[in-house]
Structure 1
């Protein structure tokens, strides 16, 4: 059962919070003000509870950051461990990873936004960035393998292809809004077609 971050007997009439709801508010505040500029006082104010109520279950702001980053990193890392990312042609594996990554970015947009804005100022941030780079390397390696297979163009430097793929996918968190005129499924399909059609080998 979720742990309440505020005692139910509190007389101020403030709502209670479990860890998930605290994380949802915290990531919004981190994204608005920046992690470094956000104090526990700022978090408490936005939650409508006291700092002591937060500390009762979360020992530090850093722990909140770590938990929030895991909300993005764990599902991203799981993509690379999926059988579909490990078997088949390099092109098939690459498309699976790209599609799955877009879905995670849309489903967990606030948490991925936080991940993409990290500066590496703390050990928690540097560890998260290392984990993110490991995810990126898997895509970069598949681009090279797909070129070697002949499914992707060889006249474009693989590092350029990888960076453009990352840039296109990461931009989704900045402009996509749920409930807008374009559905998540349409974003995924349009992005995949735009990215891969442009780099497919002409000899296919």
Structure 2
């Protein structure tokens, strides 16, 4: 018996089944690498990268694992894209004119402010970057890039001290760690909200707290 010869109730069931089969396909068609990345970052931050499987990502995205593999080779590629987004924002701040020219103290203050702004703008991605532990090749690469960024900021602090703009009784390496410790702690409590902390105000406050105590005068 063909579908058209079946009773109405049976034909309706067939039609519902056909619709159900089409829905995931339509969803896959509208999914993009960017939206998939956003879902992956959320799950990585919630479960931890090691605790996340492709099945977890599939359920969170509402698409099949094969659909995910259509966009990326696996979860490590998603991790690489996510931490690259955070790192690109941080390193871009080092290349801005205000970070390249002028007295070292002014340059490092600019980089500090921009680091806070990048953290707030890319909060989920920076949060993930700060949580990598070096268990995979991508994580080790990310940690190395983070150390490179920290070293460049430390070099700016050393230059500012050599210029006489920072206190002579300060250990530069310790100051660098404390500076980034304060900035990185923002991921634990800062949440974007219309009635929340103003981004510019927060960045200015971090700079004042750090450098009012570090400057010579």
TM-score normalised by structure 1 residue count:
0.91
- Give how far 1:89 is off: 0.5
Where do 5+ consecutive residues of structure 1 fail to align?
1-8
- Give how far 1:186 is off: 1.3
Q: Which residue of 2 aligns with 1:20?
A: 34
TM-score normalised by structure 2 residue count:
0.86
Q: Which residue of 2 aligns with 1:4?
A: none
1:184 pairs with one of 196, 199, 209: 199
Superposition pairs of residues 102-121 of structure 1, within 5 angstroms: 102-121=116-135
Q: Which residue of 1 aligns with 2:188?
A: 174
1:52 pairs with one of 63, 66, 78: 66
Three-state SS of the structure 1 residue aligned to 2:23 is: coil
Aligned equivalents of 1:10, 1:105: Cα separation in 2 = 41
Superposition pairs of residues 135-146 of structure 1, within 5 angstroms: 135-146=149-160
Q: How many residues align structurally?
A: 194
Report the aligned-residue RMSD: 1.4
CA separation of 1:40/1:157 partners in 2, compared to 1, >3 Å: closer, same or farther?
same
Aligned equivalents of 2:144, 2:196: Cα separation in 1 = 36
Aligned equivalents of 1:42, 1:78: Cα separation in 2 = 33
Q: Which residue of 2 aligns with 1:89?
A: 103
Name the structure with the higher helix share: 2
2:140 pairs with one of 115, 126, 137: 126
Q: Which residue of 1 aligns with 2:44?
A: 30
After TM superposition, what 4+ stretches of structure 1 lie above 2 angstroms from structure 2? Answer: 12-16
Aligned equivalents of 2:163, 2:131: Cα separation in 1 = 35
2:208 pairs with one of 184, 193, 200: 193
Q: Does 1:64 align with 2:75?
A: no
